[in-house]
Amino acid sequence: MKSFNKDPTAPIEPKENNEKTASENDQPVNSQATGKVVYLTFDDGPTSVTKNILDTLSQFNAKATFFMLEPAMRDFPDVVNKIIEDGHAVGMHGVTHDKNQFYDSEQSALEEMITAQETLQEITGVHSNLIRTPYGSIPYLTETYREVLDSNGFHLWDWNVDSSDWSLSDDQYVDSVVEQIEYLSSAGVTSIILMHDQAETANHLSILLTYLSENGFQTKKIDENTKPYNFNCYDRCHSLNP
Ligand SMILES: [Zn+2]
């Protein structure tokens, strides 16, 4: 595990035992209001490297949310089950990941999410309503699309921290994420971090998690009762900290 020590004089806490102390558990109260909660999200999986991501998350007792593609779930059913066994949240990211096909009509978008939802349930027995649409909701997901997904019970999640892990090399995405988290945190805003289920991201995830741990951030998974964060606030959507 690489360590993340920007300040070599900073005290280093032992990381071997990630059990939270009772006092930490007793005071979760509203760390969300102070921006000390982050949501880690991984799109486009599962893949052959998801298990590495899960191992790293587990080392840090971190929780995440995986927005998965339907064909990938079929390819790696054991991994989908492992994600759930490890206590992470699962949601759907559609079937084709092709903007022309997914956004062809309200019906095509809805059908992709329902297909993915059914496959998830078939593999794991878990019914999820959490979705993230391919490339995020803007600009393709117009109001009528939102209404259709909403009326079918789906909870749409965008992000407010883009790791750019698909374009940055090595561990550069970590620096980018840290910079954005610090900015949002200073404004009291909870970070929802977009990452991808891929090797480069997995290889450097421990650096990000070390930073979060050493700076008092708590990772949370998205649950069905969390108010969704959307890029654009139409009348039904809410930012986490308006
Ligand atoms: Zn994607």
Tens-digit pLDDT profile for residues 174-184: 999 999 999 99
Whole-number Å distance, alpha carbon 88 to ligand 1 midpoint, is 18
Domains of the chain: 31-219 (3.20.20.370)
Q: Are 213 and 60 in contact (CB under 8 A)?
A: yes
> When comparing pLDDT for 13 and 106, which is higher?
106
CB atoms closer than 10 angstroms to residue 122: 11
10 Å CB burial of residue 59 (0-12, 13-18, 19+) is middle
Answer whether residue 19 shows pLDDT above 80: no
Whole-number Å distance, alpha carbon 101 to ligand 1 midpoint, is 14
Residue 218 CA to residue 4 CA, distance in Å, equals: 17
Average pLDDT over residues 26-41: 64
Average pLDDT over residues 160-178: 96
Would you say the C-alpha torsion 69, 73, 76, 80 has a positive or negative sign?
positive
Q: What is the pLDDT of residue 231?
A: 86
Whole-number Å distance, alpha carbon 72 to ligand 1 midpoint, is 12
Answer whether residue 18 shows pLDDT above 90: no
